Structures are given as structure tokens and as C-alpha cells.
């Protein structure tokens, strides 16, 4: 049920828009209800509104929480607004010069995507502030009067002036002059009031680039959906008001996958595991994240070759999903993805005109995905044209169709394994100590094999895994973060008092905003941090604000292996994050029962040839039941493949725990074979 200011009895709907399916979860007095409908990439709101009508069936008022990929797609497809950038004269090329990093070190003729704002659309003006916000030279009144005419062709405006993080006075004056322009204006002092000119400017440009697109989409959705309130999933794992998401859409660039990263640890804690790797395999891509007892956020993120320096969940994405297309490259090598069949036409077996073999098609050919078990048996997959398409690939590979299909699965697994290693092994984390939480429509088909590749022995498949991202949006807190660069040094008198005063001021301001949005003061939790460094260093470490000097020395020693307590520290950026708890769905423990009957049997092709398997409907599995592989678990939103050497056990919460045979899984009350 909804909570806080939104009332205790109004239904809540969480919606996750994916590349292939749009997932919906309804939480009302009767519990949870779920629905998947095909996505409509040309206008995602069409699928959302269709799903709401089908799921609600005129139930009356409700609240909506939505994870949107509109901002992400606009950036990746370069379909945003025409942006004009207003900056200091002589600094128009900051967005193009960047940090002069070379992503391709050995490319003889490297190609960089063009900036989101063209060179002719960058406008330089006079005026200058120093690093402390003191005015070195004023804005030119004549230039300001001419500015609206110079921006007449703009669809959106980004304003990023030097040292605006110290004081927004010059940017606010520019905004006042542009107030009559019929286009949105994004100020860096509001979007990212932090130092580092390139990242601040680039992030503001991204916000301006997607703002008209997002504003139109959210406006249309808010009007047509008929919800009492609309919240949008933020990239940092907290929900945003629709007003803030419309004005600061840069905070939604990871809106879709963020829901799953929030929801996965909830299920890990249910079975007594805090350290998890989340593995979300959908129709178009796979998103993975590390949560070693907490959600990890980062400010080092790039999308469309542009840095986005806002706080967001540390998610790594690869172009491997159920709809990823298999092909033979000019060298005769089998490739899978990143191109996807998407929702239309989709995989061949969807029967919507698809002609290229995908990962989903490979699973059907191998028998891992029974044609009559799709979407809980509500739809039947079509086999017409499948064998012919796979035969083209197998002929080029000089293998049987089944061996070619196994090759497709293996290549996709390799890409996903690499992604899981990036967020674990490459960061000094041993995945063998973690629980792999697998979800998304295709996650359960690959989870056990990926865990084995990583040396992991435990996998958790939540109930309705294909809708876990929507579940995460349902339970996600409403969050807001305020940040400000201060550049204060410990060898200056009064620095700690100044840090404390500024944090108090920022917290008061943030609490005021949260209260205006309807959150009671007692329902809001506060996290205060300081980004600090030794003087002379280029980058910072974030530490809790309480005793931040001591904590920084300890964190630096832990991170880099040494500390320099004799060196002065700099408090670079102060941050205050406020959050109000999300919804808590009712728990419905499964009752223990006798051995359920399999739904039937079938055959699956493995490296050893065709082998018989048992098939179960997940809804028939009682708490404590064990299943030995090879077996298939069928349900509405996903299918789980338990290969030979693995076994599944049903947790009382409804989660399915997979362990390598002979290896103990996480302890949980009530586990064990039924008598």
C-alpha cells in the first residue's frame, strides 16, 4: 500500500518500460497483481497507458511510480533537442576539449562522437567570477539585452558560467534575461553546483538536451494516466517528483535499471545474504551491479560519450539480452548483440515478423524455453521459420542447428560474465562470497551457468523475476540530494565549524523541499557526507561528515594503502541526502505442502546431447521443496533453467534458491525437504 503523504489505502502501480516488454505491478488491498505488455518504442506511454487500463480496470484513484528509458534513448539515439550553450567568452569549446582522454589508445584514426551542442550554438558572454564567487568583472548589459535574439533558434538552453558553484548570481541574471524565451533554461548552479568545469558543463548540456523530450513525455503521461501523483525512478535509486524529473531529467538517465538494483538487495536480505551481485537480463540488454551490503553510487559515468556527474547507482550494462541478434562477422566468427530485435519485430518465435535469430530463439530451439509455457501459458511461441534461420548460421559455422544455438548461448554468457567481472573482480571483490540475484525476463535461463563460470555456488531467483525492476520502484525511497563545492582546507581556522554550518544550511533547505512534497519530518532520514582529499590531490573520497577528518585518513589507507596525517585536508564538496521510505508490500509466506506433481516432461539439448527434464509450474511449488537439475521452472514473467549439477530449493518467502549440488546455500528458516 502507499505510505506517507500519499495515504494508506490508495493503490500504487509501478511501471518499468523495457526494450521488449513494459512491466506493471499493482499493490492494493488485495495484494500484488502483475502484468506484462509489449513495449511501444515509438511512444513508450502507449504501452504504459494500455497496461494501466488493463491492470486497474477502473479501480479509481491510484499513485504511479514509473521507470522511464526516454532520457536514455534520446541520448543514445541522438534524438534530443537543439541546445544552445551560454558560457564565458573564450570557454565555448570546453564541451569539445573535455579531459583530452583517448578511449581508443591504439586507433590510428580515432573517431569521437560530436558534442551534443554544435559549435555554432555555443554563445560566449563577458563577465567573470573567481573561485570564491567574488566578481572579477560584471556581466555586460548590452550583451545580455542581445542574448535572447542570439538564442532565437534554440529548443533548449544550457547556462554554465565559471565558478557558478560558488555563487549562482551571474547564472541567475542570465536566466532572468531569458525568462521570456519559450524554451526551458538549465542552470549549472542548480543541476550540479560542484567544481570541475567540464563535468559541470557537460552534465548541464545533457539536462538541456533531454529536457523538452522528457517534459512532453511526462506531461502527456501525467495527464492521460489519471493518477493522483506520479513519481519517476531516479538514477540514484530514489524516486523523484514528476515536477523535478521534468526540470532535471538528467537524474533519470538510469531510471529503468535502477529499480532492479534497489529491489535485488531486498530479496538478498530475505534469505539472510547482504553481499549480492544483481543480474538483470531483459530483452535488449543486461544490467549488473554490486551491492556489498549497501547500494554503491558513483559520479563517474558516461553516456553517449558525455560525462554525467550526478550521483547514480553504479550499474554496468552490456548489449546482451533475449532479443540480441546472432550473426556471423566477416571473419567467420559468431557474434551476439549488441543489436536487438526489440519489441517489434522481436525474436522469430514471437511471430511478429522477426527473421533474425536471437538468444530467445536459441533457447526455444534447445528446449530450454517451452513454446507452450510463454507468459505463464497465456501465449504460445511460434516455431515457423526458426529452424531455417538457425540453419543459415549453423551452415556457416559447419555445426548442427542445436550446436549453433548452444554457441549463441555461450557467446551471450561470455559477454555477461565479462560484465559481472567488471563490477566484482576488477574492483577487488571476490564474487564467490556473494549471492547472485538473477531477474529480468531472461535472467533465470542463464543464472546458474554464469554463477558456475564465476565460481559462485548460490543463485536467488525472486518471485516474478521478470518484474523485479518494477518491484524495486515500488519499494524505492523518495530521495533528494543537495551538494555544494566549498574548497575548505583544515589548515585554515574555523574550517570544521564552516563545514558543519554549511551542512546544517543544506539540510534545512532539503528538509523544506521534502516537507513541501508531503513528507513528515519524522519520516525522513538524513545522510551527510564530505568529499575530501589531501591537498594537491586531483580526486576525492567521500566519507561520513561526522569526524570526517579521521574517517578520511582511515578510508585513504583502506583504499590506497597509505595515509598522510601530516598533510592538510581539503573539504571539496559537501553532500546531504534525504530519503523517505518507500512502500512495504505485504509478505505472504508459502505454506509447506507435499511433493507437487511436475507439469510434465520434455527434452533439452545440452553439450551431451538431448536429455530428459522435468517441468514445474512455480505456483505449484511449496516451501521447502527441492528440485534437482536438469529441470525447468515455468511462471508468468520468466523461465528458470536448472542445469545438471545444480538443485533448487523453495524458500518460505517464495524465492527460489539454486545451489551447486553438494554445496550448502544460505541458511533460511523453514528450509528442507517436505516430509
C-alpha cell at 99: 579531459
With CA atoms as reference, report the closest residue to 197 among 98, 86, 118.
98
Percent of the chain with pLDDT over 70: 94
Q: How confident is the model at residue 596 (pLDDT cuts 50, 70, 90)?
A: low
Taking Cα atoms as reference points, which of 212, 189, 178 lies closest to residue 79? 212
- Helix 443-453 crosses helix 401-422 at what angle (to 10 degrees)? 70
pLDDT of residue 519: 83
Predicted local confidence at residue 668, as pLDDT: 37
What is the reported pLDDT for 312? 92
**Chain center to CA of 537:** 31
- Quick one: which of 469, 473, 412, 403 has its CA closest to 446? 412
Joined grid coordinates for residue 362 = 536459441
pLDDT in tens, 265-289: 989 999 999 999 999 998 888 999 9
Alpha carbon distance 570, 131 (integer Å): 14
Q: What is the mean pLDDT of residues 223-248?
A: 92
Query: Would you say residue 666 has pLDDT above 80?
Result: no
List of residues 6+ apart from 551 with CB closer than 8 A: 543, 544
Biggest distance spanned by C-alpha atoms of the chain: 87
Report yes or no: 656 and 646 within 8 Å, Cβ to Cβ: no
Among candidates 618, 668, 623, 631, which has minimal Cα distance to 34? 618
pLDDT band at 41 (very low <50, low <70, confident <90, very high): confident
Q: Taking 70 as the threshold, does the pLDDT of residue 675 lie above it? A: no
pLDDT, tens digit, 9 for 90 and up, residues 90-118: 999 999 988 877 777 888 887 777 899 99
Instruction: Determine the average pLDDT of the residues in 330-335.
Output: 89
Lowest average pLDDT, out of 39-48, 361-370, 551-560, goes to 39-48
More confident residue, 601 or 245: 245
Q: Residue 598: its pLDDT value, please?
A: 65
The answer to whether the beta carbons of residues 233 and 64 sit under 8 Å apart is no
What pLDDT was estimated at residue 667? Answer: 39
Let me know: does 517 contact 241? Beta carbons within 8 Å. Answer: yes
Count CB neighbours of 176 within 10 A. 11
Provide the pLDDT confidence category of residue 74 given band limits of 50, 70 and 90.
Answer: confident
State the average pLDDT over residues 602-610.
Answer: 91
Place of cell 554464469: 450
* Percentage, residues of the chain above pLDDT 90: 59
Task: Supply the pLDDT for residue 207.
Answer: 97
Residue-level pLDDT at 109: 83
318/675: higher pLDDT? 318
Distance of CA 418 to the CA centre of its chain: 18
CA atoms within 13 A on the CB side of 11: 23
Q: Specify the pLDDT at position 30.
A: 80
Q: Residue 604: what pLDDT?
A: 93
pLDDT, tens digit, for every residue of 349-364? 888 888 899 999 999 9
Using one digit for the tens of pLDDT, what is the confidence trace for 471-529?
Answer: 999 888 888 899 999 999 999 999 999 999 999 999 999 999 888 888 888 889 999 99
Q: Is the pLDDT of residue 457 over 80?
A: yes
Which of 253-267, 319-333, 340-354, 411-425 is predicted least confidently?
340-354
Find cell 533465470 and name the residue. 444
Sign of the Cα pseudo-torsion (256, 259, 262, 267, in order): negative
Peptide bond just before 345 cis, omega within 30 deg: yes
CA dist., res. 167 & res. 187, Å (int): 12
Neighbours of 220 (CB within 10 A): 13
Q: What local confidence, expressed as pLDDT, does residue 59 receive?
A: 67
Give the pTM: 0.86
- The SS3 call for residue 578 is strand
**pLDDT tops 90 at residue 211:** yes
**Per-residue model confidence as pLDDT tens digits over 155-181:** 999 999 999 999 999 999 999 999 999
The whole-number pLDDT of residue 14 equals: 93
pLDDT score of 215 more than 60: yes
Amino acid at each position: 500500500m502507499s505510505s506517507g503523504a500519499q495515504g494508506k489505502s490508495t493503490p500504487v502501480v509501478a511501471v518499468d518500460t523495457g526494450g521488449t516488454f513494459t512491466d506493471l505491478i499493482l499493490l492494493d488491498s488485495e495484494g500484488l497483481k502483475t502484468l506484462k505488455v509489449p513495449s511501444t518504442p515509438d511512444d513508450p506511454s502507449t504501452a504504459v497507458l494500455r497496461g494501466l487500463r488493463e491492470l486497474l480496470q477502473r479501480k479509481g484513484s491510484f499513485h504511479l511510480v514509473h521507470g522511464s528509458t526516454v532520457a536514455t534513448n534520446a541520448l543514445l539515439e541522438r534524438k534530443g533537442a537543439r541546445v544552445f550553450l551560454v558560457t564565458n567568452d573564450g570557454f565555448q569549446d570546453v564541451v569539445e576539449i573535455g579531459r583530452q582522454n583517448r578511449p581508443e589508445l591504439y586507433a590510428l584514426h580515432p573517431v569521437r562522437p560530436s558534442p551534443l551542442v554544435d559549435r555554432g550554438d555555443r554563445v560566449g558572454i563577458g563577465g567573470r567570477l573567481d573561485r570564491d564567487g567574488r566578481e572579477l568583472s560584471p556581466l555586460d548589459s548590452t550583451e545580455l539585452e542581445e542574448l535572447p535574439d542570439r538564442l532565437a533558434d534554440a529548443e533548449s538552453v544550457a547556462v554554465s558560467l565559471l565558478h557558478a558553484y560558488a555563487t549562482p548570481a551571474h547564472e541567475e541574471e542570465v536566466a532572468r534575461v531569458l525568462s521570456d524565451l519559450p524554451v526551458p533554461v538549465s542552470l549549472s548552479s542548480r543541476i550540479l553546483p560542484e567544481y570541475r568545469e567540464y563535468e559541470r558543463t557537460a552534465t548541464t548540456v545533457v539536462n538541456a538536451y533531454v529536457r523538452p523530450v522528457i517534459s512532453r513525455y511526462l506531461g502527456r503521461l501525467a495527464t492521460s494516466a489519471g493518477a493522483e501523483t506520479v513519481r519517476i525512478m531516479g538514477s540514484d535509486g530514489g524516486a523523484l517528483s514528476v515536477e523535478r524529473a521534468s526540470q532535471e531529467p538528467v537524474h533519470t538517465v538510469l531510471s529503468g535499471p535502477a529499480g532492479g538494483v534497489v529491489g535485488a538487495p531486498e530479496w538478498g536480505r530475505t534469505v539472510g545474504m547482504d553481499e549480492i551481485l544483481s543480474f538483470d537480463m531483459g530483452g535488449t540488454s543486461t544490467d549488473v551491479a554490486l551491492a556489498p551490503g549497501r547500494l554503491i553510487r558513483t559520479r563517474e559515468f558516461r553516456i553517449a560519450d558525455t560525462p554525467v556527474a550526478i550521483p547514480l547507482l553504479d550499474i554496468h550494462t552490456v548489449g546482451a539480452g533475449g532479443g540480441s541478434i546472432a550473426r556471423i562477422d566477416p571473419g567467420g566468427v559468431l557474434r551476439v548483440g549488441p543489436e536487438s530485435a526489440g519489441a517489434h519485430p522481436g525474436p522469430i518465435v514471437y511471430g511478429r515478423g522477426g527473421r533474425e535469430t536471437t538468444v530467445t530463439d536459441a533457447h526455444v530451439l534447445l528446449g530450454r524455453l517451452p513454446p507452450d509455457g510463454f507468459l505463464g501459458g497465456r501465449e504460445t511461441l511460434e516455431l515457423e521459420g526458426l529452424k531455417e534461420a538457425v540453419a543459415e548460421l549453423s551452415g556457416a559455422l559447419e555445426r548442427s542447428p542445436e550446436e549453433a544455438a548452444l554457441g549463441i548461448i555461450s557467446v551471450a554468457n561470455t559477454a555477461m560474465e565479462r560484465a559481472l567481472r567488471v563490477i566484482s573482480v576488477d574492483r577487488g571483490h571476490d564474487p564467490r562470497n556473494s549471492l547472485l540475484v538473477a531477474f529480468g525476463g531472461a535472467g533465470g535461463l542463464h543464472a546458474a551457468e554464469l554463477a558456475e563460470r564465476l565460481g559462485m555456488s548460490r543463485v536467488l531467483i525472486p518471485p516474478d523475476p521478470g518484474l523485479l525492476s518494477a518491484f524495486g520502484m515500488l519499494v524505492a525511497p523518495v530521495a533528494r540530494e543537495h551538494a555544494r563545492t566549498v574548497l575548505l582546507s583544515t589548515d585554515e581556522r574555523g574550517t570544521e565549524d564552516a563545514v558543519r554550518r554549511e551542512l546544517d544550511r543544506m539540510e534545512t533547505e532539503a528538509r523544506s523541499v521534502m516537507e513541501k512534497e508531503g513528507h513528515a519530518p519524522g519520516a525522513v532520514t538524513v545522510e551527510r557526507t564530505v568529499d575530501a582529499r589531501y591537498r594537491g590531490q586531483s580526486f576525492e573520497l567521500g566519507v561520513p561528515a561526522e569526524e570526517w577528518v579521521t574517517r578520511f585518513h582511515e578510508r585513504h589507507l583502506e583504499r590506497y594503502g597509505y595515509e598522510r596525517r601530516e598533510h592538510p585536508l581539503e573539504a571539496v564538496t559537501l553532500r546531504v541526502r534525504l530519503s523517505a521510505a518507500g512502500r512495504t508490500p505485504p509478505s505472504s509466506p508459502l505454506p509447506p505442502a507435499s511433493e507437487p506433481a511436475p507439469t510434465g516432461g520434455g527434452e533439452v539439448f545440452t553439450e551431451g546431447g538431448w536429455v530428459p527434464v522435468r517441468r514445474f509450474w512455480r505456483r505449484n511449488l511449496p516451501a521447502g521443496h527441492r528440485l534437482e537439475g536438469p529441470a525447468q521452472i515455468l511462471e508468468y514473467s520468466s523461465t528458470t533453467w536448472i542445469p545438471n549439477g545444480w538443485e533448487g530449493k523453495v524458500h518460505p518467502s517464495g524465492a527460489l534458491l539454486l545451489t551447486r549440488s553438494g554445496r550448502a546455500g544460505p541458511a533460511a528458516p523453514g528450509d528442507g525437504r517436505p516430509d
